[in-house]
């Protein structure tokens, strides 16, 4: 266990080593147990957390606010439109000012080509640790909540467990690509056999795919990419289908919508789930486009663990805050 992560930023999934992530998981499970036993955990009493949102949120905002409260800290919810950012406050000014006033800064900024750069520039100027609540490239807290959930269902030794990260159809908009990016970077580090399934236009950045393949090679596991959703599902232990935009193909909303609408058959239903192992689990970070992206019978069925994922984000956020803001 790594005992000192104080002052560390958590922006990219690779900012923490595997050993450091295992420490986060250990602390998260301890905090989950303590909450079940109604034991107080005031590790951050008299601390304050700035939560800056450029993008709407339900589960992430709730998890971070509740985590701060459980740790004895005060969470400050800040929408970008209620600040002076539009009137000239730069990233470095936000980092220097919020970092002096608050003990930690958490930011959600998903604008394509902007979000990750913004968070890193804030972090460069901030004396307080900066946490990425999701950007255009990464969603590290979601992926650790997913990892925690998988370990609760499948055991901590995930070597050679088959996980499918698949694109799925959703008609609402070109959703961020950060979750599949983070998935392919993080999960092979824990020995899982990962299959990435998507139509040709929904590719990830090649350097991310190359890193995933290298992590799999080092860990003696497999990493495969396919454009066949049903083939990918066969004999899987974990099914994680999620819509994302064709952002590496086009950033134009109308063109992206035209491409997305070609693949309405990429929906998760009972027939596709039956291709996986009998005890396979269905995962989704939510919100899902019901009966478009996934049928009610799957997301509300016995194999679904979506609410466990949502709850576990609370404990991951609590653990990272406790370790970095103390």
**Cβ-proximal residues to 240 (8 Å cutoff; 6+ apart), any chain:** 146, 163, 164, 165, 166, 183, 283, 284
- Confidence bin at 174 (pLDDT 50/70/90): confident
Contacts 24+ apart (CB under 8 A), 227-231: 227/197, 227/198, 227/199, 227/200, 228/197, 229/166, 229/167, 229/197, 229/266, 229/272, 230/272, 230/275, 231/197
- Contact between residue 118 and residue 107 where contact means Cβ atoms under 8 Å apart: yes
Average pLDDT over every residue of 103-110 = 98
Cβ 25 vs Cβ 148: under 8 Å = yes
Mean pLDDT of the region 201-215: 96
Per-residue pLDDT reduced to its tens digit, 114-134: 999 999 999 999 999 999 999
How does residue 145 score in pLDDT terms, banded at 50, 70 and 90? very high
Euclidean distance between CA atoms 133 and 149, whole angstroms: 18
pTM: 0.96
Sign of the four-CA dihedral 28, 34, 35, 40: negative
Q: Hey, what domains does the chain have and what are their CATH numbers?
A: 13-139+313-325 (3.40.50.1370), 142-309 (3.40.50.1370)
The residue written with tokens 């600040």 in the block is 83
Whole-number mean pLDDT of the chain?
Answer: 96
In which band, very low, low, confident or very high, does the pLDDT at 172 lie, cut at 50, 70 and 90? confident
Residues 204 and 176: beta-carbon distance below 8 Å: no
Query: Which candidate, 176, 189, 185, 92, places its Cα nearest to that of 134?
Result: 176
pLDDT at residue 173 greater than cutoff 80: no
If we measure between CA atoms, which residue out of 141, 151, 171, 127 comes closest to residue 29? 151
- 39, 281, 6: which is closest to 146 by C-alpha? 281
Listing DSSP states for 6-51 in one string gives: TT--B-SGGGS-HHHHHHHHHHHHHHHHHHHTT----TTTT-EEEE
Strand order of the β-sheet with 162-166 is: 223-226, 193-197, 162-166, 238-241, 281-282
Residue 251's pLDDT band (boundaries 50, 70, 90)? confident
Average pLDDT, integer, range 25-37:
98
- Average pLDDT score over residue span 24-41: 98
HSE toward the beta carbon, residue 246, CA cutoff 13 A: 22
Average pLDDT over residues 144-149: 98
pLDDT exceeds 80 at position 183:
yes
Q: Please give the C-alpha separations between residue 127 and each of 10, 52, 79, 178, in angstroms, as whole numbers.
A: 14, 16, 21, 26
Output phi, psi for 127, to 5 deg: -80, -10
**What mean pLDDT is predicted for residues 222-226?**
97
Would you say residue 241 has pLDDT above 80? yes
CA 30 to the chain's CA centroid: 21
Confidence of residue 1 (pLDDT cuts 50, 70, 90): confident
The 10s digit of each residue's pLDDT in 280-313 is 999 999 999 999 999 999 999 999 999 999 999 9
Q: For 254, phi and psi rounded to 5 degrees?
A: -70, -45
pLDDT of 148 > 90? The answer is yes
95 has a pLDDT exceeding 80: yes
Look at residue 214 and tell me whether its pLDDT is greater than 90: yes
């Amino acid at each position: 266990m790594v005992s000192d992560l104080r002052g560390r930023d958590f922006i990219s999934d690779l900012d923490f080593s595997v050993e450091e992530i295992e420490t986060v998981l250990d602390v998260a499970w301890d905090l989950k147990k303590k909450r079940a036993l109604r034991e107080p955990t005031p590790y951050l009493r008299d601390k304050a957390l700035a939560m800056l949102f450029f993008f709407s949120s339900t589960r992430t905002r709730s998890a971070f606010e509740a985590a701060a409260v459980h740790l004895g800290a005060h969470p400050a919810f800040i929408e970008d439109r209620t600040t002076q950012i539009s009137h000239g406050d730069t990233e470095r000014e936000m980092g220097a000012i919020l970092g002096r006033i608050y003990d930690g800064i958490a930011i959600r900024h998903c604008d394509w080509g902007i979000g990750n750069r913004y968070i890193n520039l804030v972090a460069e100027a901030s004396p307080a640790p900066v946490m990425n609540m999701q950007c255009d490239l990464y969603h590290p807290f979601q992926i650790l909540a997913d990892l925690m959930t998988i370990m609760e269902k499948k055991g901590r030794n995930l070597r050679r467990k088959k996980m499918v990260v698949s694109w799925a159809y959703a008609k609402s908009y070109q959703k961020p690509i950060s979750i599949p990016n983070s998935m392919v970077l993080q999960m092979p580090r824990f020995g899982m056999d990962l299959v990435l399934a998507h139509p040709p236009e929904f590719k990830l950045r090649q350097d991310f795919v190359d890193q995933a393949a290298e992590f799999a090679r080092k860990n003696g596991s497999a990493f495969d990419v396919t454009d066949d959703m049903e083939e990918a599902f066969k004999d899987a232990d974990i099914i994680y289908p999620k819509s994302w935009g064709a952002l590496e193909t086009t950033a134009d909303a109308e063109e992206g919508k035209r491409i997305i609408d070609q693949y309405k058959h990429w929906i998760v239903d009972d027939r596709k789930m039956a291709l996986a192992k009998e005890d396979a689990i269905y995962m989704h970070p939510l919100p899902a486009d019901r009966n478009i992206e996934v049928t009610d019978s799957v997301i509300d069925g016995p194999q679904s663990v979506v609410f466990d994922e949502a709850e576990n984000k609370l404990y991951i956020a609590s653990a990272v805050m406790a370790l970095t803001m103390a």
